[in-house]
Amino acid sequence: MKGKRTMLSAVLAVAALGFVATLKSLGDSPTAVSQNRKEDTLMASFNNRFAIGAAIPGAELNEAERRLLFRNFGTVTPENCMKPASLHPAEDRFDFAKADALVEMAHANGLTVNGHTLVWHQQCPDWFFTDDGRPAGRELVLRRMRAHIAAVAGHFAGKMKSWDVVNEAIDDGNDYLRKSKWLTSIGDDFIAEAFIAAQKADPKAELYYNDYNIELQPKRDKTLRLIHDLKQRGAPIHGIGIQGHWQIDHIPFKEIEDAIIAFHSEGMQVMITELDIDVVTRKTAGSEVGNREQDSASPFANGLSDDLQQRLADQYAQLFALFLKHQDKITRITFWGLHDGRSWLNSWPSKRTNHPLLWNRALQPKPALSAVLTLTQLKTEPNAQPPAGGDGKPAPKP
């Protein structure tokens, strides 16, 4: 009975995408689709389409988590252990132990690594920006940033497929760039300087800009402006990471598609770098880590209802139908967490139990996984724009 309900969930997801006619015309029944699967894993199912990745805290995964990771994912992104506060807590001190262990575990099991992140306004020690108790000037901060990138990217040179060089530097409001300490200390060329330094330290790594809500306006146009600015300054940039922290029933499908097309038209690889679907209502559509909310009771502490599981499955299926449609532009899809128990959404923007990923806390697959895998079994790739779930618009800001 449980197996039939899981398959029914997948079939309903396909129906929501408007693929019923395709299935009928091809003579594929849901049962046939299931029986034709050679390997029900994400990595195998999306092979030759785009890479599938997961964010992990480090190598300290238990054996069951490791099996899940190595079976289903081909690439990993470190959640926190490569950020400046973790790697470079003092100007004269580095701590590579945790990051080294992650890279060694990944390589030993055939996974590539995307470094995250060299320059960010969060989780960055104050010493970068001070000089004997006073704000440091441009040249000192620029020298420190270059030295940090040279040391970190240089330490991992040849071991990283790619780096998120700069993270979340575009302003959420009316300004072009976020008024971070990097901007106010160095100036608006700090992003170009970071990319140039990263290429010098690791010439073979692909270099990306990563941010949230850049599928939406006005941040999409600001991202296009940033691409142009970097090119004009001679800074190497290979790709754009759309984070993909979306909310159930408020996923902006059309805007996501428009952004994928726009960024790719500028010669960029496009990645979905931090994918999850928040099932708990929150006030803001963004994922600025500084925007916290008061802790409250968890509405889904005991799990999701069948209806909510189905909505989650439908909307993951709609997303992956869109990704498959643009597989010529997308190079990687990374989930921000291995399973529900490892999701940052259990503690941000407030403490509550969340269920945003494809595996639950017991490491069991959810209906959303079946819905996503079913898409890859169609004899014809999806080529129609999927309808929006819910109202198809981002959640309103307060």
Give catalytic residue positions.
Answer: 168, 274
Residue 386 per-residue DSSP state: P
Q: How many Cβ atoms sit within 10 Å of the Cβ of residue 397?
A: 10
Displacement of CA 180 from its chain's centroid (Å): 22
Pick from 271, 276, 257: nearest CA to 315: 276
Pick from 180, 51, 188: nearest CA to 111: 51
Q: How many Cβ atoms sit within 10 Å of the Cβ of residue 195?
A: 25
The Cα–Cα gap between 373 and 34 comes to 9
The Cα–Cα gap between 200 and 22 comes to 49
Let me know if 203 is exposed, middle or buried by CB neighbors in 10 A (0-12, 13-18, 19+). exposed
Q: Radius of gyration of the chain from Cα atoms?
A: 21
Per the CB < 8 A criterion, the answer to whether 88 and 125 are in contact is yes
93 bridge partner residues: 90
The Cα–Cα gap between 213 and 220 comes to 8
Residue 63 tokens, joined: 């054996």
Q: How many Cβ atoms sit within 10 Å of the Cβ of residue 20?
A: 12
The Cα–Cα gap between 164 and 120 comes to 10
Phi then psi for residue 119, to 5 deg, are -130, 120
Let me know if 281 is exposed, middle or buried by CB neighbors in 10 A (0-12, 13-18, 19+). exposed
Query: At what angle are helices 367-375 and 306-325 packed, to 10 degrees?
Result: 30
Measured CA to CA in angstroms, residue 65 lies from 62, 69, 222, 362 at distances of 5, 6, 39, 10
Residue 170 tokens, joined: 């575009």
18 φψ region: left (φ > 0), alpha (ψ -120 to 50), beta (else): left
Q: How many Cβ atoms sit within 10 Å of the Cβ of residue 245?
A: 21
